[in-house]
Structure 1
């Protein structure tokens, strides 16, 4: 969850995006910008270094992003760099995404399995979660071999754990309580 500063900056960008009817485009581009910063952490470090002038930082932003992202998003990046808030960009992007998902009845679901799921099983899980939540589902899957089998599904603040690891732990706890 983003902090209050990140949420306020994200809200201002979100309102501009809605005014232009480009909230989805801004979301995609904002995520792409964050991906650049994740792949090139030195780039973000340059933008957060106090000894580098604000004008130089803004020139770098223009060179890298101008013509590739919406002009208001570029202005937003230049503003948060000028205000010394660019280090909060990941929280801002998360807050923007949460606003977009809320307004469009989208829920993010994370599914962790012991082995990769087939495309058919992934679609079946997505359909089931759509039925359960009544919302469009963005399904993120990952693999954790330590689960041994089964699945762990996280929706909002709820977790449904049917993994073999958890079931074996519960069984061991029950046996320990019975013996003790």
Structure 2
């Protein structure tokens, strides 16, 4: 969950995007910007360094992003750099995404399996979760061999764990309680 400062900046950006009817485009571009900062952490550090002049930071932002992202998004990056908030860009993106998903009836579901989920099973899980939630599902899958089998599904703040590892741990706990 993003902090209140990140949420306010994200909501302001979302309102601009909504006025332009480009909410998804802004989300995609903001995600790309965050990925760029993730790949080049020194770039983000430079933008947060107080000893570097704001004008120099803005020149670099223009050189890197001008013509590649929406003008308002570039202005947003320059504003949060000026206000010393650029370090919160990742949580701002998360808050923007949460707002976008809420407004568009989308829910993010995370599925963890012991082996990669086939495309057919992923689609089946998406359909099932969509029926359960009544929302469009964005499915994120990952592999964790330590669960041995089954699936762990995370939806919002809830987790549904039908993994073999959990079942074995439950059996072991019952046996320990029975013997003790």
TM-score range, shorter chain: over 0.9
CA shift for structure 1 position 51: 1.0
SS in structure 2 of the partner of residue 152 of structure 1: strand
The separation in 2 between residues aligned to 1:53 and 1:167, in whole angstroms, is: 57
CA shift for structure 1 position 170: 0.4
Q: How many residues align structurally?
A: 180
1:92 corresponds in structure 2 to 92
CA shift for structure 1 position 153: 0.1
2:105 corresponds in structure 1 to 105
TM-score, normalised to structure 2's length?
A: 0.99
The separation in 1 between residues aligned to 2:53 and 2:115, in whole angstroms, is: 49
2:175 corresponds in structure 1 to 175
2:137 corresponds in structure 1 to 137
CA shift for structure 1 position 110: 0.3
CA shift for structure 1 position 24: 0.7
**Runs of 4 or more consecutive aligned structure 1 residues displaced over 6 Å after TM superposition:** none
SS in structure 1 of the partner of residue 110 of structure 2: strand
TM-score, normalised to structure 1's length?
A: 0.99
SS in structure 2 of the partner of residue 132 of structure 1: helix
1:147 corresponds in structure 2 to 147
SS in structure 2 of the partner of residue 50 of structure 1: coil
SS in structure 2 of the partner of residue 110 of structure 1: strand
SS in structure 2 of the partner of residue 7 of structure 1: helix
The separation in 2 between residues aligned to 1:146 and 1:49, in whole angstroms, is: 41
SS in structure 2 of the partner of residue 56 of structure 1: helix
2:62 corresponds in structure 1 to 62
The separation in 1 between residues aligned to 2:117 and 2:4, in whole angstroms, is: 37
1:59-88: CA deviation from partner (whole Å, max 9, x where unpaired): 000000000000000000000000000000
Unaligned 5+ segments in structure 2 are: none
Q: Is the aligned partner of 1:161 residue 2:161?
A: yes
**Correspondences of 1:4-83 after superposition (within 5 Å):** 4-83=4-83
CA shift for structure 1 position 50: 1.1
